[in-house]
Every structure is written in structure tokens, then in C-alpha cells.
């Protein structure tokens, strides 16, 4: 992240923290606490690293630094979570979509980790222990909704919960892999005015089963059966959207060994997604200038 991108992030942080008002009897402002946290997340460093003055440069050099106890207490507060959520909402921007993809990314810890919130679940190639980032990604790269839960929580159930946070999706195509092929999710997406496209897991022939699954999934099965080439071409667009999710995965990287516990992992992932939005906006502006 260069100085211009950091300045853009500081502007958003300042705007959001001003809307919360001043905290009574607070020595350090919300703006400083949030920027210190983003500075640590940007460099993949723990909070103890943040309070050392030698770790700052011309891009960011605070005049005063809190103690580690003050910093940790403020970061763990509900007020900080609300500020972080508001920053994400402002960076995510417009909630009108042309297309959406629902996906997840495991955030694994060591198999022998003592993290009490981490759980064992299936990952690519076997089983792992840790958490999973569930996200809804738009076709232009925005991440309007995300959630971090233990690794053993099924993706489909989380997707249903994330859909409730989205506005009406009239005419929007929602794409997902076969793990999300469930009649209840198809019905939830249809209730939002959208259409879920997945790679069906098997087929249904019994009339009772076809009747119970709902009209949206019946149409999906019919199209995959009668027009497989067309559906494969449509489903192929999911790869392009998923590459943007891969850019986020590269920014997230492996979960640091000092980020443990569900609350800390959620904060860390939320801050990384905010940084992702800042970098994404900078790339779009650079392309527009070029």
C-alpha cells in the first residue's frame, strides 16, 4: 500500500469515527486506535509491534501511542466493532449488483493449536482445523457481505444467513458451487428476486421430489439436462468472478499464529477486507487514468 492509498483509508476512517462522536474520558481518539489496528493488519504484525515507535514511517507517524493494555481494551470493545463494520459498509459502496458469487475460504490453524474456537472441518484435499471466511462477492469485485465462522459450519446454512443482509436482487444471477445446491437456498434466492445457478448434485425424477424442491431448482435441473453446453458457458463466468475472490485470498494469506479466537479472527478478516477494497479502488482509478 502506497501513501495515496493509505491517505484514502485515513479519510474513510476519519469520516466514520466523526459520526460516532467523542468518547468521554478517552485519552486516545477512535481514529487513532482504528488506524493503529489497520497499520498492524497491513503489516501482518501483532498489537505489541504496533506500540513501538520505530515501526512507523513518513506515511504514518502518530504523535502518541497507547499502552498495549489500552490498545487491546479499545480494540475488543463493541464500539470498535461497530466502527469497523461502518468502515466496511462505506468502502463496499453501492449495493446494486449485476451478478453475485457465494464462496468460502478456509482459514486454517495448526492441528495441535489450543484455539478453543477452532473446529475440524473439510478443506481441499482432506481435513483441517480452524475457521472459514464466507463471502458474497459481486461481479465488479466488491464484497458486500462476509462472515467468519468455525470450519465445521456448513456453507449452505451460512449462505442463507448472508442473504438476509442483502437487498432485493431482482434479475440478479447468483452463482455458487455444488456445495450450495439445496432446495431451501434456491427458494431463499428466488424470494429475493434472483436466480441461483449451481452445478447440480445429482438429478431428481420423482414427481413429489420435483414438486417440493421449488420452481427455481426445477428450472435449473431442466436447463442442465436439455442445454448442458449453454449452462456450462454461463457457469464458466463464475471463474472470472472467483478470481477476484482469489485476490482477496492472496491478501489474507495464512492466518498469523497470534490471531486466535473467533472474535480476533473476525476482526482480522474484516480489516483485511477493508484493505482489499482500498487497493481495489486504487487499481480501478489507475486503469481509468491509463
Average pLDDT, the chain: 88
What percent of the chain is predicted at pLDDT more than 90? 53
Reported as half-sphere exposure (CB side, CA atoms, 13 A), residue 180 has a value of: 27
Reported as half-sphere exposure (CB side, CA atoms, 13 A), residue 88 has a value of: 19
* 244 compared with 124, residue with greater pLDDT: 124
Phi-psi region of 130 (alpha: psi -120 to 50; beta: other; left: phi over 0): left
Chain segment 99-136, per-residue pLDDT in tens: 888 988 899 999 999 999 999 998 887 899 999 999 99
pLDDT at 101: 87
pLDDT at 235: 79
How many angstroms separate the CA atoms of 225 and 227, rounded?
6
* 86 compared with 252, residue with greater pLDDT: 86
pLDDT at 244 over 80: no
| Res. 221 pLDDT band, cuts 50 70 90 | confident
| Res. 65 pLDDT band, cuts 50 70 90 | very high
| Res. 261 pLDDT band, cuts 50 70 90 | very high
Q: 114: helix, coil or strand?
A: coil
pLDDT at 282: 82
For range 178-198, the mean pLDDT:
90
Question: Grid coordinates 484514502 are at which residue?
Answer: 8
Chain segment 150-161, per-residue pLDDT in tens: 999 989 899 999
pLDDT at 171 over 80: yes
pLDDT at 237: 73
- Cβ(242)–Cβ(103) under 8 Å? yes
Chain segment 199-211, per-residue pLDDT in tens: 887 777 767 677 7
pLDDT at 96: 65
* 283 compared with 223, residue with greater pLDDT: 223
For range 227-237, the mean pLDDT:
82
Instruction: Please report which helix (H) or strand (E) contains residue 134, including its range.
Output: strand 126-138
* 205 compared with 192, residue with greater pLDDT: 192
How many angstroms separate the CA atoms of 101 and 18, rounded?
34
- Cβ(223)–Cβ(198) under 8 Å? no
For range 227-236, the mean pLDDT:
83
pLDDT at 19: 93
How many angstroms separate the CA atoms of 41 and 255, rounded?
11
pLDDT at 266: 95
Phi, psi of 100 (to 5 degrees): -135, 155
- Cβ(177)–Cβ(242) under 8 Å? no
Amino acid at each position: 500500500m502506497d501513501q495515496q492509498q493509505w491517505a484514502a483509508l485515513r479519510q474513510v476512517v476519519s469520516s466514520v469515527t466523526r459520526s460516532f462522536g467523542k468518547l468521554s474520558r478517552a485519552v486516545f481518539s477512535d481514529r487513532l486506535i482504528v488506524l493503529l489496528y489497520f497499520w498492524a493488519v497491513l503489516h501482518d504484525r501483532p498489537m505489541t509491534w504496533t506500540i513501538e515507535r520505530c515501526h512507523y514511517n513518513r506515511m504514518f507517524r502518530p504523535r502518541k501511542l497507547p499502552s498495549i493494555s489500552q490498545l487491546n481494551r479499545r480494540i475488543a470493545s463493541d464500539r470498535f466493532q461497530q466502527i469497523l463494520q461502518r468502515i466496511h459498509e462505506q468502502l463496499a459502496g453501492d449495493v446494486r449488483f449485476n451478478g453475485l458469487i457465494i464462496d468460502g475460504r478456509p482459514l486454517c490453524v495448526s492441528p495441535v493449536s489450543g484455539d478453543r474456537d477452532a473446529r475440524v472441518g473439510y478443506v481441499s484435499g482432506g481435513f483441517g482445523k480452524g475457521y472459514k471466511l464466507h463471502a458474497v462477492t459481486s461481479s465488479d469485485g466488491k464484497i458486500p457481505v462476509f462472515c467468519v465462522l468455525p470450519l465445521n459450519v456448513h456453507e449452505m446454512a451460512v449462505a442463507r444467513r448472508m442473504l438476509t443482509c442483502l437487498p432485493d436482487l431482482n434479475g440478479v444471477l447468483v452463482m455458487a458451487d455444488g456445495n450450495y445446491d439445496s432446495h431451501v437456498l434456491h427458494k431463499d434466492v428466488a424470494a429475493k428476486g434472483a436466480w441461483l445457478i449451481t452445478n447440480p448434485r445429482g438429478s431428481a425424477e420423482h414427481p413429489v421430489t420435483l414438486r417440493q424442491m421449488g420452481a427455481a431448482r426445477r428450472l435449473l435441473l431442466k436447463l442442465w439436462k436439455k442445454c448442458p453446453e449453454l449452462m456450462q458457458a454461463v457457469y464458466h463466468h463464475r471463474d472470472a468472478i472467483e478470481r477476484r475472490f482469489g485476490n482477496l485470498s492472496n491478501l489474507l494469506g495464512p492466518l498469523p499464529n497470534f490471531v486466535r479466537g473467533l472474535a480476533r479472527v473476525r476482526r482480522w478478516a474484516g480489516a483485511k477486507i477493508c484493505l482489499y477494497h482500498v487497493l481495489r479502488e486504487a487499481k480501478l482509478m489507475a486503469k481509468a487514468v491509463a
